[in-house]
Amino acid sequence: MLDSLVKFVREQYRTNEFIPLHAPIFGGNEKRYVNETIDSTFVSSVGAFVDRFERDMEAYTGSPRAVATVNGTAALHIALVLAGVKSGDLVLTQPLTFVATCNAIAYCGADPVFIDVDKHTLGLSPVAMERWLEDSAYLDDDGICRVKGDGRVIRACLPMHTFGHPVELDLLIQVCSRWGMVLVEDAAESLGSLYKGRHTGTFGAVGTLSFNGNKTITTGGGGMILTDEALGARAKHLTTTAKKAHPYEYVHDEVGYNYRLPNLNAALGCAQLEQLDSFVAAKRVLASRYQSFLEGGPLQFVVEPQGCRSNYWLNAVICEDLKQRDELLAFSNQAGVMTRPIWKLMSHLTTYSSSLQGDLTNALWLEQRVVNLPSSVVPELQV
Ligand SMILES: *Cc1c(COP(=O)(O)O)cnc(C)c1O
């Protein structure tokens, strides 16, 4: 079985060389646009491609405002600031995520609370969240959600659309509104994914994207904040050193951040965004091939949740147990076909091990079983 899986992957990519988990491809206007920034000398924090990338992303996602940042972690940090997360606050999130989600919470001086994930979305479970809130939280006289005991404010909820599969947003939005919580979406992995026809990252008060080298489209390094006009203006201010507009004076009216995306990177992003639909189409064909190939076998292929269109950023399988997972990882990597286990739970990292947590049955189960398979765009499958 493992032998035939490795053979299957090699047939898709038509190579006997090493096959990475996710490599970018540059088949469009990348070189032209990047060269334009060099020719213009505007390679840094000011330039036409930054504005163009933001407007193009607004058009693509339907977000009223998009603000480019130096990476996805910086976008998350500012997203939480926009959500009003302050030192001492709590933020509900999932333990099954990349560490950046939790680090952004920590940058605000806040602490994560780990809530279990759904087995089919691999993302934050609205049911588990409501259960934890009923046991452990209350609304004070001002309608602010607080944790029982020390009364710390639970300010926001930060779900992550794992490997591109959207969480159950309708239910999650209901739970957030019942409990007076701001919804912020970590959509770093889900650019191009739709929940009931609408782009992930546009449901919460704020959403964030990442354009790291391994994501669906890349700017080398980069990120984006998706939000409304008012918060977008504030995001731009905070990410550009809180500088007031002035022809020559330096006036900064609060502690700001230098989180701007350089024009050089934005040029790459504009060219990549032009190909996003074609990338997603190719990734979806690959996913359906994996699904057919694995059908009836011991590895359960993770399919998009009902009512969603996933970008299938990373294809994933659920193994029967830890032993089978370890055999898959050892065999494929030995054979030069890269596979990786899902992240260790954030609640297992020393840094976040003392954070509050609910029952994490599903997350613990998945942690031992999920493996990602090679997922780069196969050039021949682009439309
Ligand atoms: C990639 C990613 C980020 C952001 O990463 P950057 O490398 O800072 O762009 C954040 N959250 C998740 C879940 C990610 O996968």
Residues 6+ apart with CB under 8 A from 7: none
Q: What is the pLDDT of residues 98-138, one digit of tens each?
A: 999 999 999 999 999 999 999 999 999 999 999 999 999 99
CB-CB contact of 182 with 156 (8 Å): yes
- Given pLDDT bands bounded at 50, 70 and 90, which one contains residue 321? very high
For residues 117 and 184, membership in a common domain is answered with yes
For residues 11 and 113, membership in a common domain is answered with no
Cβ of 376 closer than 6 Å to ligand 1, yes or no, is no
Cβ of 71 closer than 6 Å to ligand 1, yes or no, is yes
Q: How far is the CA of 59 from the centre of ligand 1 (A)?
A: 22
Residue 296 CB: number of other CB atoms within 10 A?
Answer: 6
Residue (of 216, 183, 251) closest to 24 by Cα position: 216
Q: CA dihedral in degrees (270, 276, 278, 279; nearest 10)?
A: 120
Q: What positions carry a catalytic annotation?
A: 215
Arithmetic mean of pLDDT, 53-75: 98
Q: Is 314 left (phi over 0), alpha (psi -120 to 50) or beta?
A: beta
CB-CB contact of 90 with 358 (8 Å): no
Question: In terms of residue numbers, what domain contains 304?
Answer: 2-26+276-381
Q: Please tell me the total count of domains within the chain.
A: 2
3-class secondary-structure state, position 209: strand
pLDDT score of 45 more than 90: no
Q: What is the pLDDT of residues 138-196, one digit of tens each?
A: 999 999 999 999 999 999 999 999 999 999 999 999 999 999 999 999 999 999 999 99
Among residues 237, 258, 273, the one where a domain terminates is 273
Q: How far is the CA of 35 from the centre of ligand 1 (A)?
A: 27
Cβ of 94 closer than 6 Å to ligand 1, yes or no, is no
Q: What is the pLDDT of residues 268-296, one digit of tens each?
A: 999 999 999 999 999 999 999 999 999 99
For residues 164 and 83, membership in a common domain is answered with yes
For residues 262 and 287, membership in a common domain is answered with no
For residues 250 and 321, membership in a common domain is answered with no
3-class secondary-structure state, position 53: helix
Arithmetic mean of pLDDT, 247-274: 96
User: What is the pLDDT, as a whole number, of residue 154?
Assistant: 98
Helix axes 229-239, 72-82, angle to 10 degrees: 120
User: What is the pLDDT, as a whole number, of residue 206?
Assistant: 98
- Given pLDDT bands bounded at 50, 70 and 90, which one contains residue 41? very high
Q: What number of helices (H) and strands (E) belong to the chain?
A: 12, 17
What is the pTM for the complete model shown? 0.98
Among residues 233, 252, 273, the one where a domain terminates is 273
For residues 266 and 144, membership in a common domain is answered with yes
CATH number of the structural domain spanning residue 70: 3.40.640.10
For residues 37 and 183, membership in a common domain is answered with yes
How far are the Cα atoms of 73, 109, 306, 349 from residue 106, in angstroms, in the given order?
11, 5, 33, 14
pLDDT score of 97 more than 90: yes
Specify the residue with its C-alpha closest to ligand 1, atom 5: 72
Cβ of 210 closer than 6 Å to ligand 1, yes or no, is yes
How far are the Cα atoms of 47, 53, 214, 268 from residue 36, in angstroms, in the given order?
11, 15, 24, 11
Closest atom of ligand 1 relative to the 73 alpha carbon = 8
Closest atom of ligand 1 relative to the 215 alpha carbon = 1
Q: How far is the CA of 297 from the centre of ligand 1 (A)?
A: 32
Q: Tokens in use for 343?
A: 């992240």
User: What is the pLDDT, as a whole number, of residue 15?
Assistant: 96
For residues 232 and 344, membership in a common domain is answered with no
Q: Which of 73, 200, 239, 265 to mutate to test the pocket of ligand 1 (most atoms within 8 A of CB)?
A: 73
CATH number of the structural domain spanning residue 14: 3.90.1150.10
For residues 205 and 63, membership in a common domain is answered with yes
The rounded distance, in Å, linking the Cα atoms of 343 and 332 is: 18
CB-CB contact of 29 with 37 (8 Å): no
Arithmetic mean of pLDDT, 219-243: 97
Helix axes 263-273, 48-61, angle to 10 degrees: 30
What rounded mean pLDDT belongs to the chain?
Answer: 97
